[in-house]
A and B are shown apart, each in its own frame.
Chain A
């Protein structure tokens, strides 16, 4: 099954990132149409009608989200979430790097629909070269009159600022992103109020992912019915899927949602190396509960992944083949979230820390089978108990690994114990006393 390239159409066209090439290929016509001939309400209706779902992870209807913003004259904002930091995800990077004007066109149209005069692209600091490309594209778009105080002479105003983050996974969480954009540490906020009512600088704010916004020009150009002709009824359109890990051709593949997962992993990405089998795979970034080889024939869609107890998330498949140790994989996963936890909520801050310590014990042979139950219970006590889902993002995959590969964890405990026999009291005699009170 070939790819269905819509967002990635002509992705390797030389100089696609330049405004001249983009316009030669039909770019900015949707923006002209939207600003000259369409009203904000009409655009909102079109986006809702198209059924476009957010591509950042939650899969919420984009048009509906935009329609939550209050109407009327007030300072409203649009934020494009380009802080793509979910492990395994690299679709937004390639979309921005190869076709920045598609995103800028989408941002301008979405800002018009939402009534936002300011739009911010929050791009992660690691993507320095992509941010440079975006900076140039935004400057060119200003020059051509597609952005600024008086777009195409229609009197509408959209200012676009490319804002570079500085290395914090948590800033991909929408309210932490807003805090970071306001010049604070990226800590999530309590919801409600939701950003649509009270977001950036206290004003109503629409936050959308890069891929979501990149779809907007195509919907405006071709209509909602045309867009619904792609994908499934509940998940219309195409989806850029990042496939990585133990596959022969890792990369971004644009598909219609609903194709068999096996087709993606084996057909497009080439499957695991010769002689290897898929053992486990994350269907939606490292936050998604893992699936096994038995679940490879599920259709790749929001609904099928949810029914299988996992999620499509950001659309990033990470494949682990049968040479990979699942406890090591769990530890690697947990370490990431432990490192990235912002520390605001206790279940996440402490839960990620203890999970890492316990998984290290499993591997070093200091754990007992009972510890697996404790690991599982720590995960249960994180889920749903924090302001944001960072802790859940560790708890779900680690919990699923312990549940689905329990034998392997038990074997790892045994193997570790046999490899490094250690008298029980040794660990107590050389331990330093735990300092009390305020500690570092």
Chain B
């Protein structure tokens, strides 16, 4: 993941850096870097490499994105609180948190892109690399695992043509770019275990057939599993028992 966020060691926009130096080959930190290489990279950094807050007039921000971020900033007593809403807006606009999108949001909010990047990599729901169009998060925490979540995740992967191991380790997109499948920690819907969150909506309990159907429906652009949607489920205890006398008395008063 860090590859997508790798930065050049020299900030071309920083004043005082010679052009030929800025134009030199970029050294990017990667996971494969040896400790020595990493150390040399860090030692080569200078204060003027520090990223600055992008000037709003120098960044071309799509109007819609800017409106959304500014609306969020106006909702809070302090504008930094709008950082998460701003990242949601970027992700909504581009499908994932692109570097350019982060720069645009940073310009609107008056923070460094690196600041927003530090948030985007911290929170699980932000994607920091391109992903499939529809997001399928399969819960594989205790309650769902006890009811067959591992099989459900495999079924989704098989239907999507994605690798199940990768889906369980950070998520994977299907080859056609339509789906992104990820094994996810507890989604807070253990009552419908095993379950999945598909494009932000909850569905369960699901079996392998449901997974295949859902993937087909997503690819066809149809409504997904209407009879399995959480929004339509009644309370677990069934029809309301006669109200407790104390509750009834209070309502009569």
Contact = CB atoms under 8 A, between A and B. Distances in A.
Interface in B13-33: 31, 33
B88 interface: yes
Contact of B34 (A4, A251, A269, A435): A435
B11 interface: no
Contact of A166 (B76, B125, B145, B251): B125
Contact of B142 (A87, A164, A180, A222): A87
Interface in B229-248: 230-231, 234-237, 239-244, 246-247
A183 B80 contact: yes
A11 B141 CA distance: 27
Interface in A1-37: 2-6, 8-12, 26
A226 B245 CA distance: 12
B235 A251 contact: yes
A164 B190 contact: no
B9 interface: no
A84 B54 CA distance: 36
Nearest to A343: B122
Contact of B201 (A90, A129, A180, A230): A129
Contact of A250 (B141, B236, B253): B236
A163 B125 contact: no
A336 B129 CA distance: 23
Contacts of B191: 90, 94, 242, 244, 250-252
Given A87-B142, A166-B126, A250-B236, A245 B81 contact: no
A340 B119 CA distance: 15
A376 B143 CA distance: 24
B34 A182 contact: no
B197 A126 contact: yes
A332 B123 contact: no
A26 B246 CA distance: 16
B236 A440 contact: no
B2 interface: yes
Contacts of B186: 85-88, 286, 336
Contacts of A221: 250
B84 A85 contact: no
Contacts of A182: 78, 80-81
Interface residues of B, number: 66
B75 interface: yes
A306 interface: no
B235 A94 contact: yes
Nearest to B29: A440
Interface stretch (B35-43, B151-159, B208-216): B35-43
A339 B185 contact: yes
Contact of B237 (A168, A251, A435): A251
A93 interface: yes
B142 A245 contact: yes
Contact of A222 (B125, B137, B250): B250
B122 A6 contact: no
Interface string B182-205: 001111111111000100111000
B244 A438 contact: no
B87 interface: yes
Interface string A253-277: 1100000000000001100000000
A245 B247 contact: no
A250 B188 contact: no
Contacts of A118: 77
A78 to B, nearest CB: 13
B193 A244 contact: yes
17 contacts: A8-B235, A8-B237, A9-B247, A84-B188, A90-B190, A129-B201, A129-B202, A168-B122, A229-B246, A245-B146, A245-B190, A250-B191, A336-B141, A436-B35, A438-B35, A438-B38, A440-B2
Interface of A: 2-6, 8-12, 26, 75, 84-90, 92-94, 97-98, 118, 124-129, 161, 163-169, 180-186, 201, 218, 221-222, 226, 229-230, 242, 244-246, 249-254, 268-269, 282, 286, 316, 318, 320, 324, 329, 332-333, 336, 339-340, 342, 435-440
Shortest 6 CB-CB contacts between residues of A and residues of B: A251-B236, A167-B124, A244-B190, A183-B83, A166-B123, A437-B35
